[in-house]
Structure 1
Amino acid sequence: MKGKFKSFFSFFSESWAELKKVRWPNRKELTNYTLIVIGTVTFVTIYFWVLDIGISAVIEAII
């Protein structure tokens, strides 16, 4: 049982040490990344919406 707690705390101390090495984005970078993600998601959503309408129209024409 003692070994399990040691490995448990060891995991978290090593994880914390790795998090200290991370280069976190500043506010401007975070804003830019967020806008890129929102734009990409919007583009892909509209693309699949148009594709769905097109496929639906083709299927309705066949049936």
Structure 2
Amino acid sequence: MSFLARIGAGFKRTGAYFRESWLELKKVKWPTRRELTSYTLVVLGTVAAMTLFFYVLDIIFNFIISLIMR
């Protein structure tokens, strides 16, 4: 196979990849605006709760370590 033929085959494969990817994206059921907002709020709430949890845990451990170090 010549050099130019291999380059052409590479372009064909690349084009096929993007065509197939586009067809798969058409099959996706995208979330509605309401669903997306709801999911975002759940994620932000979970992150805030975990942040608060680890902050309190850090304060407790610092207190315990300060008692031990006395």
- TM-score, normalised on structure 1? 0.91
- RMSD after superposition: 0.9
Provide Cα deviations, 1:14-53, integer angstroms capped at 9, x if missing partner: 1111100000011111111111111001001101111111
- Structure 1 residue 20 corresponds to structure 2 residue 35: no
Corresponding residue number in structure 2 for 1:49: 55
Residue 60 of structure 1 and its aligned partner are, at CA, apart by 1.2
Separation (CA, whole Å) in 2 of partners of 1:2 and 1:61 = 72
Letter in 2 for 1:34: T
- Structure 1 residue 10 corresponds to structure 2 residue 41: no
Separation (CA, whole Å) in 2 of partners of 1:42 and 1:6 = 48
For structure 2, the 5+ residue unaligned runs are 1-6
For structure 1, the 5+ residue unaligned runs are none
What is the percent sequence identity of the aligned residues?
51
Separation (CA, whole Å) in 2 of partners of 1:3 and 1:57 = 66
Separation (CA, whole Å) in 2 of partners of 1:33 and 1:49 = 24
- TM-score, normalised on structure 2? 0.83
User: Which is higher, the Rg of structure 1 or of structure 2?
Assistant: 2
